[in-house]
Copies of this chain bind each other. A is one copy, B any other.
Amino acid sequence: MDRANNQRDTEALILQAAEREFLEKGYTGAKTTSIAEAAGVTHAMLHYYFRTKDKLFEKILADKLDKLGEIMFGVIGNTGLPLRERLVQGIEGHFDFIAANPLLPRFVFNELHSLPDRLEAVKYKIAPLAKAVIDNLQAAIDENSRRGKCRHVDARMIVMDIVSLNIFPFLANPLISTTFGTLFESREAFLKMRKKENVRTILDKLRLDYE
């Protein structure tokens, strides 16, 4: 193997292991020793490439916040569609994103809670996107409600509703599996049902029909 290949390998291996460990256990719970072990490299390598646990963590956090930004940005894209379709796509897209990154909400809430300084990054990366999504949605709601097509509601509340409803099944995963274990056939069936239900709840609130 040539150098470039080797270098990238260990660095990437550490990043992968770090992502998993940080998302699973949070900053304090994660240990650089176990990250190195999981990555299959010696512990010194971790510090060789990233100097400190903190720097490694910041890299992971920034990555995750970027991902969070992307999904929000994606929602703004579909401006051409009618309100109803935009909502359905936006809600289902958000749900699927969380389903693909089920540990992300807890991770973000935890780390922002324990170290509010990290909010600075969020303030500049996430807040503007959230504002764009909300303004965009509010304009569409205003227009539709003026034409009697739907109720007039606060877009901030709708966005909060969507996020609340979509992240819960993943945050409460162990609780739901236990409490509702006998009440649903399988986790997959439950999640599919829940996604549809969340779409319905929002459309219902706006008095937009669903098929």
Contacts and interface: CB of A to CB of B under 8 A. Distances in A.
B178 A122 contact: yes
A113 B178 contact: no
A167 B169 CA distance: 12
Per assembly, the copies of the chain total 2
A104 to B, nearest CB: 13
A175 B105 CA distance: 11
A179 B148 CA distance: 31
Contacts of A168: 160, 163-164, 167-168
Nearest to A207: B204
A60 to B, nearest CB: 18
Interface stretch (A13-21, A40-48, A86-94, A123-131): A123-131
Interface of A: 25-26, 28-29, 106, 108-110, 112-114, 116, 119, 122-123, 126-127, 130-131, 156-157, 160-161, 163-165, 167-169, 171-176, 178-180, 183, 194, 197, 201, 204-205
